[in-house]
Amino acid sequence: MLKDPIVGDVIDHRYTLRREIARGGMGTVFEAEQTETGRIVALKLVHRRSRHVRISEEQLLLEAQAISAVRHPGIVELVDVGICVLKGPYLALEMLIGRTLDGIIAARGPLPVREVVHLGRQMCEALAHVHEKRIVHRDLKPSNVFIALENGREVVKLFDFGIAALSGANLDGPSGDRAEFGTPEYMAPELLLGEGPVDHRVDLYAAGVTLFECLTGDVPYVGTLAQVVTKLARGMAPPDVGTLRPDVSADFAEILAMLLAPRPEERFDNGLAFARALALATGWPEGTTQLLGDATPGFQGELDRVSRIPDNARAMPHVQRLFERMAYVTMTELTYDGTTVDGRSEDISLGGMLVRTAGAIPAQAKVRVKFDLPREGRTVTVGATIRWCREGRDGGHANGVQFVDLPNDCRKAILDFVRAPSDVRS
């Protein structure tokens, strides 16, 4: 009988699984240690008991080929690829310290314009490199954009090339439906409506939706596949970002609208053209984002900028951090009143964690939170209180979890992780 990989398994005699980082429909990502070198990597494996295991395995190997072909600082690095007799194919990717963009948006809501500009330029420059290699990502969205901390500097990285394809190739799914793969709210009209040629400009459209969400906390067309298709088929124009965010300049709003144009020929030709237009529209020099909170210098200044977002945009509250914290992604379980809710952490400190869950947990609820300690990978369960809970656009929830009885050994592990240099934090 096929068994899904679990923590402690050794994959292909080469990688020991230390803790679970993320879980999706196709597979699971683990933090793993490479036997020969001791290097820590993110190991991606397919669910063995899935009904679509063969399709998932094919996608994983295609992802390896795509990432290998597009080596770039703005793309997650492929370390290794192989096939384990017992667990199937695997990808070893560089272990990133940081947070996904969707996690940042879920916790903070609309982001400062300057941060979105720096993010957009880096993201589209990486896309330009991908497209030069004649590859289309096809699934660009905030959950596939990672803000990584490297040597004290934030770097925007694209990942999850599981449904990438060659530009000009057949982009239909196995059933012949172009909309079979991807997330409808981020898919270009030509993909959803099945009209016209499909090329790299579907990624530029998705980039536009992603930046729109960063600025407003929402996407231009909200709904199910059928609802989004109906809105596009009726020619419904996307909302004006300048109306939703008055602090967005008219020039910036205009070039963002070009990315969201219904016809591919009305969009920018490539990501570099958009990045140049963005620089001209804002007049801001190239810079790096500061989206990881107090993991980077100048955090208090960042909070001040966020607090000045207009009242009609949902902004992160101005808060004073009592503890040093660091981005940290791991699977969690929160139990209260006999109910267990699965989640994923976004950051950690001696004071608590930011945890995303599918279900809501009442504010002030007393919970037991189960998670893996950073660096050690040891699973612990500690008492905590839900300080606040916020519902996200997709129905998920961001929760501020405050520890109430953190044992000394856990305190040491967390403090060592938070204060370690970024290059040794894993």
Delimiting residues of CATH 1.10.510.10 domain(s) in the chain: 99-282
CA dist 211 to 68, 120, 121, 186, Å?
Answer: 27, 7, 10, 11
Q: Which residues contact 213 (CB under 8 A, 6 or more apart)?
A: 105, 142, 219, 393
Delimiting residues of CATH 3.30.200.20 domain(s) in the chain: 10-94
Q: Which 3-state string (H, E, C) describes the chain? A: CCCCCCCCCEECCCEEEEEEEEECCCEEEEEEEECCCCCEEEEEEECCCCCCHHHHHHHHHHHHHHHHHCCCCCECCEEEEEEECCCEEEEEEECCCEEEHHHHHHHHCCCCHHHHHHHHHHHHHHHHHHHHCCEECCCCCHHHEEEEEECCEEEEEECCCCCCEECCCCCCCCCCCHHHCCCHHHCCHHHHHCCCCCCCHHHHHHHHHHHHHHHHCCCCCCCCHHHHHHHHHCCCCCCCHHHHCCCCCHHHHHHHHHHCCCCHHHCCCCHHHHHHHHHHHHCCCCCCCCCCHHHCCCHHHHHHHHHCCCCCCCCCCCCCCCCCEEECCCEEEEEECCEEEEEEEEEEECCEEEEEECCCCCCCCEEEEEEECCCCCCEEEEEEEEEEEEECCCCCEEEEEEECCCCHHHHHHHHHHHHCCHHHCC
The neighbour count for residue 409, using CB atoms within 10 Å, is 12
Q: Closest Cα partner for 104 from 244, 193, 29, 214?
A: 214
The reply to whether CATH 3.40.1350.10 applies to domain 325-424 is no
Low-confidence residues in the chain, pLDDT < 50? 173-179, 294-320
Torsion of CA 353, 359, 364, 369, to 10 degrees: -40
The first and second tokens of residue 359, run together, are 């279900």
Give the pLDDT confidence score for residue 68 in this predicted structure: 92
Q: How far apart are CA 323 and CA 301, in angstroms?
A: 17
Give the pLDDT confidence score for residue 67 in this predicted structure: 93
Fold (topology level) of 10-94: Phosphorylase Kinase; domain 1 (3.30.200)
Q: What are phi and psi of 390, to 5 degrees?
A: -130, 130
Catalytic residues: 139
Give the pLDDT confidence score for residue 180 in this predicted structure: 56
The first and second tokens of residue 51, run together, are 């009904």
Give the pLDDT confidence score for residue 350 in this predicted structure: 93
B/e letters for 47-71, b = 16+ CB within 10 Å, e = fewer, are: bbebeebeebbebbbebbebbebbe
Residue 216 identity (one-letter amino acid): T
The first and second tokens of residue 415, run together, are 């403090």
Give the pLDDT confidence score for residue 106 in this predicted structure: 85
Q: Which CATH architecture has domain 99-282?
A: Orthogonal Bundle (1.10)
Give the pLDDT confidence score for residue 421 in this predicted structure: 66
Q: How far apart are CA 254 and CA 51, in angstroms?
A: 45
Q: How far apart are CA 24 and CA 342, in angstroms?
A: 13
Delimiting residues of CATH 2.40.10.220 domain(s) in the chain: 325-424
Q: How far apart are CA 403 and CA 299, in angstroms?
A: 23
Give the pLDDT confidence score for residue 24 in this predicted structure: 77
The neighbour count for residue 263, using CB atoms within 10 Å, is 12
